[in-house]
């Protein structure tokens, strides 16, 4: 958030949280793309930061989806991360 003006924090925070509220991986990626589109013109520094950190940010969503969907999915993610 350090690259985002404080007046824009609520909007960016709400959009980022909406990424984690999605029900499947495709929806997570689509919502993250919408977030990037939203900040691209208004907040180019935030866009660059979020785009660079995409894998790290979305790793949390993969874990959240795994917990929501049960142990089998969680095991698949653990194998993917260790590869």
Nearest to 15 by CA among 35, 29, 1, 33: 35
- How far apart are the C-alpha atoms of 69 and 83, rounded to whole Å? 22
pLDDT of residue 6: 84
pLDDT of residue 65: 58
Please state the domain extents for the chain. 6-82
pLDDT of residue 82: 46
pLDDT in tens, the chain (83 residues): 567 778 888 888 898 889 888 877 788 889 999 999 999 999 999 999 999 999 888 886 665 555 555 554 544 445 455 44
63 is written with which tokens?
Answer: 């874990």
């Amino acid at each position: 958030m350090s690259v985002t003006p404080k007046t824009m924090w609520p909007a960016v925070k709400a959009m980022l949280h909406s990424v984690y509220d999605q029900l499947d991986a495709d929806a997570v990626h689509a919502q993250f793309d919408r977030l990037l589109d939203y900040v691209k013109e208004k907040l180019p520094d935030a866009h660059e930061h979020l785009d660079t950190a995409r894998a790290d940010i979305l790793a949390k969503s993969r874990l959240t989806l795994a917990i929501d969907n049960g142990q089998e999915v969680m095991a698949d993610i653990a194998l993917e991360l260790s590869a």
